[in-house]
Structure 1
């Protein structure tokens, strides 16, 4: 063991493994791959949101009203991107003040998994009902995820570092 390595086992974080400790090429490759995968899914969601919006009953509106509605959607989408960015940054700042320990992070992720599965089974009907306001919702998601992906350190990394410092100091 070198003098820079801790004497305790480095905790493995979901999505990052133990690469977070050295932050070398493998770490940045994992973060880049995760970001590209998430951004691809987000681009698909935005495409679906736009297609549903264009297929919504807006074609029944008079041309003047349709233009007003479209401009309103653009303004709401721009505001939603900013709101999503600000919300994510505030959440991340709050999490960095009290970062989760590795075990707490895994437990929180496991607890949130059933909710994500249940939401995905909710069906297409609520999505179709939300079609008129789906572009701002997609824009909010873009802002939130963009802010979450562009942080220097994830809160889970900060929590794992603090845990590692506490446990390696005692040895």
Structure 2
């Protein structure tokens, strides 16, 4: 089944369920079911947020995250029966843009890459800690993108 979806920047399949996430240029995020033309849910509406730079499910599929061009990272619980999605964790990880992130271990630790005025290009966050203490460590690294792969050196 083919259907046209305009302005999609990122896509990520669920590790267990037949659904996938899309993140758009207009900042919207949609959850789709494979083989169906309509969305299952719209966690982020169009025009409210900056462009999506990365969407990703956790390895167990119980959470997903959305990084955007303003440096924000929003984490959501997966509930396909819910029509009202609100992030349980939102934080500005980088002052300019959050380029990528990955869930680590039990999904409470998150590593992010992006551009910050504080020269913190790679950061490790603990979402179980209060916001002011959630930054575990920030590392300055020279990062550049080559064929959509992150290449870095210390």
TM-score, scaled to structure 1:
0.19
Q: Report which of the two has the higher share of strand.
A: 2
TM-score, scaled to structure 2:
0.21
User: Structure with the greater relative contact order (CA < 8 A, sep ≥ 6): 1 or 2?
Assistant: 1
Q: Report which of the two has the higher share of helix.
A: 1
